[in-house]
């Protein structure tokens, strides 16, 4: 079988965190119980869509999934095989013909096997929790990175120090374990200083600001993280949450704590052992939450290192702890609505090459998007740039409506879509023989040649023993030819259209229904899910640029201009801006260094600031009824089925206009100008 992939490709996929490269699909370190993981979904789509794929190889069925819902996994596997794909594992082969003739046996065997696979993860969760609790009771590490100022130390059976371990380094030796031991006196001194300030009554926000003024780097300074689909360098600025986490970690007082937070998918730490997930552990979509555990659940023991801060004073700094019932009640009441911010991770701050995702946060009774860099750096980088969430959503819908109008209106778009859908339907209707059928036809031709050769030799052979041997081979070739001919006839028979297949007209009407709803989406408070789905499907990003202006006698941050981009690569500033891992490192001050910008097409570059341009300085500050925000639309690329995980870029539909246009964003600009 032809196969494109090498061990080097697998290493590259792990290094770059890819899910698909050539013929290899991987979900590295992702639970098999997650049937929505990227590698699996891409693999299924490619195997079904690509008619040249005849075989799929997987070591064991549990590499496809360890489902809790057995029927869902069997439906996925059955759909794969029903498209003519043969599934090959290390011990079994499931061909479309075998499944068709023995479907009952196949289904029963698959359910039993997947049921056993599904039990593996909960059992593994039980073992992990038990082992981690026993190790925590001895003050040993249960995984993860060491806190600020501490290091991962390998200790022997008698608890003597052996060597330091770097992050991610693992050494397995009988009787050896890992402890978090003090390593950097300088960082530990900073930690103790923070606790002293906290004891003096300073807030976490005030402490973070003081540390940033002193130029002390945060614990994660210089690390490379992956957020919103791209890697970036941690800027090294202190945030109040960083201070709060250090103040609540007892290891500085010589106490190792385990079970502070829970995020398990199958089992979580409970009082005396593992527990099953309950309703308060899950989000509305069924995915597990990251929750903080109450005091009753946590395990504390001596860390094995010296206490650098008095334990009694440390305990006095801790807030009053809630009971387990109170924590569960509070967690269950927490609002967790993923549709609250329909443009979440899609609004980008373009100011001075910032490139930060603007986080959705509440502001009184309203919701807003605010610069993530400003908040994550402890209010030291970028600026307090924010925009009202409802205003930017309304602006986006208005822009999409205008795009539709510029494309000729609903009927013009429908005609173009029908033409395109019809052409695609004709192309799909063209007979394309799958690889398995091509292989069988070649095998049939070879058999016919071999049979003809055997006939000639039997006609001239005079030796009785040789004649019988040739005749026996002839009979087997004839039987094999008949079997192959039946398989060819079966595979060559056109497959009937399924009931779910839609005609080009029905597909177009389904798309047009979205356009018909555009005008009412922004006004409907319950339409956030529809807006979110539309934004992800079209791969929309909204880039906003802010500037400083005077509001009377005081400076404010106001929206200057923006850009709507179809596809992340069409943003004039990449996400994370100068902190991207593939960009030159910033200078020591944290605000210097060059930053990378895309070589964007002309329709995506910053608007002109010539006098009279709609994207220029515009009216003076005494005019609040006119916007000086120029809003560009870019249509060079569209992410079909886009998600925050950066799906592939495809060519934009031809129905969208390619020209740049200026849109009225006075409602958005005026709300931004009201920032105090």
- What proportion of the chain, given as a percentage, has pLDDT over 90? 25
**Using CA atoms, how far apart are residues 225 and 305, in angstroms rounded to an integer?**
29
- Range with the poorest average pLDDT among 25-39, 143-157, 498-512, 577-591: 577-591
**pLDDT > 70? residue 431:** no
User: Is 69 or 651 the better-scoring residue by pLDDT?
Assistant: 69
- For 573-577, what is the mean pLDDT? 86
Q: For the chain, how many residues are written? A: 676
Domain boundaries, the chain: 7-124, 137-333, 347-406+530-673, 435-492
What CATH topology corresponds to 7-124?
Rossmann fold (3.40.50)
- Range with the poorest average pLDDT among 287-301, 353-367, 512-526: 512-526
**Residue 606 confidence (pLDDT):** 36
Query: What is the separation, in whole angstroms, between the first and last Cα of the chain?
Result: 67
User: Is 87 or 430 the better-scoring residue by pLDDT?
Assistant: 87
**pLDDT > 80? residue 66:** yes
Write the pLDDT tens digit of every residue in 392-418.
988 888 888 888 888 887 788 888 888
- Range with the poorest average pLDDT among 233-242, 255-264, 663-672: 663-672
Other beta carbons less than 10 A from residue 543's beta carbon: 27
**pLDDT > 90? residue 138:** yes
If you write DSSP's letter for every residue of 54-83 in order, what string do you get?
-EEE-SSGGGT---SSHHHHHHHHHHHHHT
Helix extents (H) in 556-646: none
Check: CB of residue 360 under 8 Å from CB of residue 389: yes
Write the pLDDT tens digit of every residue in 577-617.
877 766 554 443 344 333 343 433 333 333 333 333 333 33
- Cα dist. 161→151, 155, 334 in Å? 12, 5, 44
Phi, psi dihedral angles at 673 (to 5 degrees): -70, -15
- What proportion of the chain, given as a percentage, has pLDDT over 70? 77
**pLDDT > 80? residue 497:** no
Write the pLDDT tens digit of every residue in 189-243.
999 999 999 999 999 999 999 999 999 999 988 888 877 667 778 888 898 889 9
**Residue 494 confidence (pLDDT):** 62
**Using CA atoms, how far apart are residues 650 and 659, in angstroms rounded to an integer?**
19
Tell me yes or no: is domain 137-333 CATH 3.30.70. no
**Using CA atoms, how far apart are residues 629 and 350, in angstroms rounded to an integer?**
13
If pLDDT is split at 50, 70 and 90, which confidence band does 641 have? very low
CA 83: distance to chain centroid? 28
**Residue 326 confidence (pLDDT):** 56
Judged on CB neighbours under 10 Å (0-12, 13-18, 19+), 280 is middle
**pLDDT > 90? residue 24:** yes
- For 633-638, what is the mean pLDDT? 36
What CA dihedral angle connects 543, 544, 545 and 551, to 10 degrees? 180
Average pLDDT of the chain to the nearest whole number: 77
Most confident residue range from 178-187, 256-265, 436-445: 178-187
- For 122-127, what is the mean pLDDT? 88
User: Is 428 or 605 the better-scoring residue by pLDDT?
Assistant: 428
Check: CB of residue 195 under 8 Å from CB of residue 169: no
- For 507-520, what is the mean pLDDT? 70
**pLDDT > 90? residue 568:** no
- Range with the poorest average pLDDT among 423-437, 446-460, 618-632: 618-632
If residue 348 lies in a helix (H) or strand (E), which one and from where to where?
strand 347-349
Whole-model pTM: value is 0.59
Describe the crossing of helices 103-136 and 70-82 by its angle, rounded to 10 degrees: 130
- For 262-284, what is the mean pLDDT? 85
- Cα dist. 404→165, 218, 411, 516, 589 in Å? 59, 48, 10, 10, 46
């Amino acid at each position: 079988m032809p196969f494109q992939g090498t061990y080097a490709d697998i290493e590259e996929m792990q290094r770059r965190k890819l899910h698909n490269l050539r013929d290899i699909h991987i979900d590295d370190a992702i639970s098999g119980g997650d049937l929505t993981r990227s590698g699996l979904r891409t693999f299924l789509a490619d195997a079904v869509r690509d008619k040249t794929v005849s075989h799929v190889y997987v070591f064991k069925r549990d590499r496809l999934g360890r489902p809790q819902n057995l029927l869902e996994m069997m439906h996925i596997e059955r759909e794969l095989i029903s498209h003519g794909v043969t599934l090959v594992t290390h011990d079994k082969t499931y061909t479309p013909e075998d499944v068709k003739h023995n479907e009952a046996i196949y289904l029963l065997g698959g359910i039993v096997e997947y049921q056993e696979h599904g039990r593996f993860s909960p059992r593994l969760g039980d073992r992990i929790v038990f082992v981690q609790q026993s190790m925590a009771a001895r003050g040993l590490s249960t995984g993860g990175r060491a806190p600020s100022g501490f290091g991962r130390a390998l200790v022997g059976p008698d608890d003597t120090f052996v060597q330091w371990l770097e992050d991610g380094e693992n050494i397995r030796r009988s009787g050896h374990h890992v402890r978090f031991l003090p390593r950097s006196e300088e960082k530990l001194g900073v930690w103790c200083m923070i606790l002293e300030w906290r004891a003096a009554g300073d807030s976490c926000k005030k402490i973070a600001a003081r540390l940033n003024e002193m130029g002390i780097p945060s614990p994660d300074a210089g690390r490379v993280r992956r957020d919103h689909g791209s890697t970036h360098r941690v800027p090294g600025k202190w945030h109040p949450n960083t201070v709060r986490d250090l103040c609540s970690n007892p290891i500085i007082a010589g106490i190792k704590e385990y079970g502070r937070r829970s995020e398990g998918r199958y089992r979580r730490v409970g009082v005396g052992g593992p527990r099953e997930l309950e309703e308060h552990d899950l989000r509305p979509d069924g995915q597990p939450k990251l929750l903080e555990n109450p005091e009753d659940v946590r395990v504390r023991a001596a860390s094995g290192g010296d206490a650098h801060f008095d334990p009694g004073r440390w305990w006095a700094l801790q807030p009053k702890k809630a009971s387990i019932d109170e924590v569960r009640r509070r967690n269950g009441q927490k609002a967790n609505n993923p549709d609250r911010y329909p443009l979440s991770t899609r609004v980008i701050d373009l100011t001075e090459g910032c490139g930060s995702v603007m986080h959705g946060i509440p502001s009184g009774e309203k919701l807003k998007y605010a610069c993530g860099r400003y908040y994550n750096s402890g209010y030291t980088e970028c600026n307090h740039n924010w925009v009202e969430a409802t205003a930017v959503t309304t602006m986006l819908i208005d822009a999409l409506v205008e795009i539709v109008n510029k494309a000729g209106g609903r009927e013009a778009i429908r005609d173009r879509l029908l033409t395109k859908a019809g052409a695609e339907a004709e192309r799909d209707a063209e007979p394309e023989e799958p690889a398995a059928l091509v292989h069988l036809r070649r095998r049939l031709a070879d058999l016919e040649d071999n049979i003809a050769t055997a006939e000639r030799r039997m006609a001239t052979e005079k030796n009785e023993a040789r004649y019988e041997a040739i005749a026996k081979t002839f009979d087997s070739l004839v039987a094999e030819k008949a079997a192959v001919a039946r398989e060819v006839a079966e595979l060559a028979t056109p497959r009937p259209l399924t009931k779910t297949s839609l005609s080009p007209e029905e597909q177009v009407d389904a798309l047009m229904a979205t356009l018909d709803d555009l005008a009412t989406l922004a006004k409907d408070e319950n339409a956030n899910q529809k807006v979110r789905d539309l934004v992800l499907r079209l791969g929309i990003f909204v880039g906003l640029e802010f500037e400083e202006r005077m509001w009377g006698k005081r400076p404010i941050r106001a929206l200057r201009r923006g850009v709507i981009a179809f596809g992340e690569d069409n943003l004039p500033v990449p996400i994370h801006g100068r902190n991207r891992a593939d960009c030159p490192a910033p200078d020591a001050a944290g605000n210097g260094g060059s930053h990378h910008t895309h070589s964007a097409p002309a329709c995506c570059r910053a608007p002109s600031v010539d006098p009279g341009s709609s994207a220029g300085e515009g009216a003076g500050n005494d005019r609040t009824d006119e916007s000086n925000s120029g809003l560009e639309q870019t249509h060079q690329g569209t992410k079909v089925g886009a998600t925050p995980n950066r799906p592939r870029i495809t060519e934009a539909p031809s129905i969208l206009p390619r020209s740049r246009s200026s849109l009225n964003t006075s409602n958005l600009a005026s709300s931004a100008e009201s920032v105090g």
